[in-house]
A and B are shown apart, each in its own frame.
Chain A
């Protein structure tokens, strides 16, 4: 998932766009609110004995799983719909566990056929779309229908990539559905999806697809009843009908979403096994108990961090991110919560993010790109390395109060192939930067042939965001130390994407949030055929890298594959099509009456594990 160029994890911070005036005011009122805040009156409007969870929820695209590609939509969809498998909530490293499947699939020896047995007796929630309003049992055919919806070109499903090119017959079926003049024929079978009986689902692949189980945890593949699609048509976005722990009670767009416990939920249990230390933290206290614990979830679409903070202190919402402006006031120099906040019953959540932020060089640019000749390629490579060496990650970390881990390559923490011990050869080193710059033909930052100073341009999104601007100014100062001038073009995010799509940048800032914990997901950013408008916005081309990428696509997780990942990373680091900056570390606050919380990189269904102790 492409991330914005914001360095902080708190989406809320992007709203802090009113400049100094806002910041001074918010700091003032923040301090006032800390002094005068009452203990809070949680559970506003909740019935006695009812467990209600209040939180912030952003704008969503609606409740159609095949289109829910953004984080907020995914968080909403996971409350209502379910798929065959999901991530284990507690266990690390990540693994999948069955949800609507009875068990993990049986995989054929050649890795081309996955056979799932479905749980019996799982029912869709009651809804007027069913005869008599009574939800019916989920069958394998429901999954095949849902997979077809995902591949139907008319649905503009943003997640069709999960099956495209992998499952037998899906590409042909999808192609046939493009004709807008006639309705898509859902009776036409897809060779790769079979239902030998009511409770057996078989997925047949063209080539081994080791990521299949990971992608089956994603909302795109969730079970959707045909009746709901046909009954609600375009309005399906507003009328979710799933099997999940909750059902939608009320949704006021741009304002509020309310979910209530689904009485027909199939009775998933809280996990009994966790990672080392989970038991000591009390995370296994509810082992084996039926989910969900919370009766109602109310999500408010709060835009301004300032408002968000006041609601959090009043107990109207239970969790809040910490914006950079407030960070030093609630977290001390040891990166722990201040005693005052602890006294208020607030706990600190530290969540390392499975993401990477980088500055990319456009491989087709005449100055920083690959170059036309071998000699030019070598000079340009040295120039890119020199620029990389001028960026001081430690200073960035300091500026952002330690809320990031310096990156040494594209692979994110928590992913196979990530090696925190391996040094980044192009980390901050001004002497090396100047040396490389001279070798690239730019001694003291001036073109040796013309005597003119080298001027580069960097494109950044998040034009309205104070934090992005501050970061951009820091980047300019880093590069200036080598004698090179760099200008920054700030754009709103859509404009930034447009420039990347059209290969109109020389350098750009970007990021990638992992879709699943497999390095292949991030390595695709450097795969030649994925060049812009695909995800390879650097337009990096390296035939050797591409060959290895094609190889890993079909390899199961193994030491051999990990070795290839490392080889691919070495190629990228050596060619330096991007400067790897950091992985985010999110800090957020939570009321101590919310328990069973464990940070997770794919937290979408996790609210069903939470418990609210106090009312």
Chain B
């Protein structure tokens, strides 16, 4: 298993390299010249050129063949903009934001906690409630209770998250004053966004988990379990839930990397100073070091989350062997 884990961890290298290449191409090749943005308003061409030289933006984008030929050193071919970014990121050195000149690592550290304060409770509550309700639906399948939940979840899915946010903020914060309209200064500030996040997302989750549970309910082993005299409760929790664990795990663990990026709309409307807002701002302002860093970290976490999923499979289903 150790060899498998090491092998999977090594896949981080080509994946992150590929992701960086893609983002670099979008922003540095197709996108604009960061020197112009750094130079600011009223910048003369001379000033822009000076910045280009200073930051190496005047170097070739991917391979510096000219330098290699000139110096006779083959490694000089990597003296280019892309490989400079790769070298930096390999050491987890993300540099500074073009917009704020703040260290990106610090910006991420500042933003990750507020994001997690919102996304983690939403994630945990949503999964717990959705799985519990899905089991209930499976237990009472094709009854009025099951159908009611199906209708509610479809209606819930059909309504945009924006509606929940705006109406929730208006009624519970502005009109009734039960929660603050905006801010991030205590537990009471996250209650409403979390509640809205759960309500907005639970419809889809419930539908998904209900389908999984029902698929399992019609399997032969369930019929066998009932034939052997197992109670409904035993069948549901001991057999169905365990067999449904693989798709549930896949769904759950793959969602984990997105927790750190936060919830853009909730953060925006409720004033949560998280990473979601930071990332969207970076897109709007063309702050490419921040984007590179967020994408890089995202891809690393994604690979690790996938690895954890695979490891969890072996726990959930002993027939699975990692080789």
Contacts and interface: CB of A to CB of B under 8 A. Distances in A.
Nearest to A501: B36
A254 B182 contact: no
A492 B284 contact: yes
B269 interface: yes
Contacts of B268: 15, 303-304
A524 B101 CA distance: 28
A164 B39 CA distance: 13
Nearest to B51: A156
B182 A302 contact: yes
Interface in A242-260: 252-256
Contacts of B274: 254
B281 A533 contact: no
A243 B302 CA distance: 48
Contacts of B54: 153-154, 178, 180
B53 A535 contact: no
Contacts of B36: 497, 501, 533
Contact of B174 (A67, A310, A497, A498): A310
A62 B47 CA distance: 22
A498 to B, nearest CB: 3
Contacts of B107: 253
B32 interface: yes
Contacts of A238: 102
A495 B274 CA distance: 25
Interface string B267-308: 011110110011001011110000000000000000000000
A535 B41 CA distance: 8
B169 interface: yes
Nearest to A236: B101
Nearest to B53: A178
A493 B273 contact: no
A61 B101 contact: yes
Given A153-B50, A161-B44, A493 B285 contact: yes
Given A161-B47, A524-B42, A61 B100 contact: yes
A504 to B, nearest CB: 10
A59 B281 contact: yes
- Give the interface residue-count category, chain A: 35 or more
A316 B181 CA distance: 9
B181 A307 contact: yes
Q: Which of A164, A252, A304 has the most CB of B within 10 A?
A: A304
A64 B170 CA distance: 38
Contacts of A253: 100, 102, 107, 110-111, 273
B155 interface: no
A127 interface: no
A534 B175 contact: no
Given A158-B41, A314-B174, A307 B269 contact: yes
B247 interface: no
A534 B277 contact: no
B103 interface: yes
A313 B101 CA distance: 35
B162 A22 contact: yes
Interface string A1-21: 110000000000001001001
A498 B35 CA distance: 11
A300 B271 contact: yes
A534 B107 CA distance: 31
B218 to A, nearest CB: 39
Given A61-B101, A497-B32, A25 B166 contact: yes
B101 A62 contact: yes
A306 B110 CA distance: 26
Interface in B115-171: 160, 162-163, 166-167, 169-170
A237 B32 contact: no
Nearest to A25: B166
B41 A515 contact: yes
Interface string B171-194: 001110000011110000000000
A301 B271 contact: yes
A494 B36 CA distance: 10
Interface residues of B, number: 54
A200 interface: no
Contact of A254 (B31, B53, B162, B273): B273
Nearest to B167: A29
A180 B271 CA distance: 39
B229 interface: no
B38 interface: yes
Contacts of A36: 175
A501 B33 contact: yes
Contacts of A69: 40-41
B48 interface: yes
A159 interface: yes
A314 B181 contact: yes
A502 B48 CA distance: 13
Nearest to B166: A25
B283 A158 contact: no
A356 B256 CA distance: 48
A153 B47 CA distance: 9
Contacts of A178: 50, 53-54
A502 B32 CA distance: 8
Nearest to B182: A307
Given A26-B166, A178-B50, A252 B273 contact: yes
A502 B36 CA distance: 11
A445 B110 CA distance: 57
B14 interface: no
B47 A160 contact: yes
Contact of B184 (A18, A33, A255, A306): A255
Contact of B170 (A2, A29, A302): A29
A302 B271 contact: yes
B174 A304 contact: no
A264 to B, nearest CB: 27
Q: Which of A15, A161, A492 has the most CB of B within 10 A?
A: A161
Contacts of B184: 252, 255
Contacts of A234: 103
Contact of B283 (A15, A306, A316, A492): A492
A60 B281 CA distance: 12
A534 B45 contact: yes
A310 B286 contact: no
Contacts of A311: 181-182
A515 B42 CA distance: 10
B162 A158 contact: no
A159 B170 contact: no
A306 B31 CA distance: 32
Given A159-B40, A161-B44, A497-B37, A237 B101 contact: yes
Given A311-B182, A498-B31, A1 B41 contact: yes
A530 interface: yes
Contacts of B183: 256, 300
Contacts of B255: none
Chain A to chain B: the 7 pairs with minimum beta-carbon distance, closest first: A494-B286, A158-B40, A498-B32, A255-B273, A254-B273, A161-B42, A69-B40
26 contacts: A21-B163, A29-B167, A33-B175, A61-B99, A61-B101, A64-B101, A158-B38, A158-B40, A158-B43, A253-B110, A253-B273, A254-B111, A254-B274, A255-B271, A256-B183, A300-B271, A307-B269, A310-B174, A310-B181, A311-B181, A316-B181, A316-B182, A495-B286, A533-B33, A533-B45, A534-B44
Given A164-B44, A515-B41, A534-B48, 8 more contacts: A62-B102, A254-B281, A255-B184, A303-B268, A310-B174, A497-B37, A501-B32, A530-B44
Interface of A: 1-2, 15, 18, 21-22, 25-26, 29, 32-33, 36, 59-62, 64, 67, 69, 153-154, 156, 158-161, 164, 178, 180, 234, 237-238, 252-256, 300-304, 306-307, 310-311, 313-314, 316, 464, 492-495, 497-498, 501-502, 515, 524, 529-531, 533-535
Interface of B: 31-33, 36-45, 47-48, 50-51, 53-54, 99-103, 107, 110-111, 160, 162-163, 166-167, 169-170, 173-175, 181-184, 268-271, 273-274, 277-278, 281, 283-286
